[in-house]
Amino acid sequence: MSQRLLNEGDFKMNYIGSTLPDFKVKAFQHGEVQSLTATDLKGHWSVLFFYPADFSFVCPTELGDLAEHYAAFKDQDAEIYSVSEDTEFVHQAWHEQSPEVGQVEYPMIADPAGDLARHYGVLDEDAGQAYRGVFILDPAGAVRSYTINDMGIGRNATEILRTLTAAQFVAEHGDRVCPANWHPGEATLQPGTKLVGKI
């Protein structure tokens, strides 16, 4: 007789294809605080970049890395949104004091109620912090790629950008797929019987 290994509710949601919830948050950008809603994240590609906390250690290196590649993301019609459970005022103070974070020009979303982090399953309720999640959303607000790292594992802006461009290629060319380590301009694959066993 088989034994249940998982309890009810143990299965985690697959976020691919899921869409943005209705939300309204504050964000710090260019020295000002603005309001953002789900509508503001549509009409272009979006990268939601969750991180644990301002005034921490790995986080400024990640936000600085994204800042250095920001122009490349904009060239791909994508906006970066960093997200933590800090308030917009803490974002402002961090931006003004940290050399790394001071480079940031993209919106820094404040999610102190945890609404966005909870929706995407990255909120550590006990710590009140978000795991290191990256969610790439298409212009309709649907998730096309996501990764989630534990608190101490930093990420790579170049790989996020590469994944974004692959997601955009697949969205535009539905009959073709991108192999491992694919970069724009390189060969892609067209699934079919002619390829079976040939790769």
Query: Does residue 59 carry a catalytic annotation?
Result: yes
Give Cα separations from 71 to 25, 66, 74, 79, 130 (angstroms).
24, 9, 5, 10, 26
User: Could you identify the residue written with the tokens 């143990």?
Assistant: 10
35: Cβ contacts below 8 Å, ≥ 6 apart: 24, 25, 26, 27
Helix (H), strand (E) at residue 58: helix 58-68
Angle at 72 between CA 67 and CA 73, to 5 degrees: 75
Burial of 18 (0-12, 13-18, 19+ CB in 10 A): middle
The candidate with the shortest Cα–Cα distance to 122, out of 110, 108, 133, is 133
Interatomic CA distance for residues 128 and 194, integer angstroms: 51
Choose, from 25, 27, 47, 59, the residue flagged as catalytic: 59
Interatomic CA distance for residues 156 and 160, integer angstroms: 7
Which residues are designated catalytic? 59
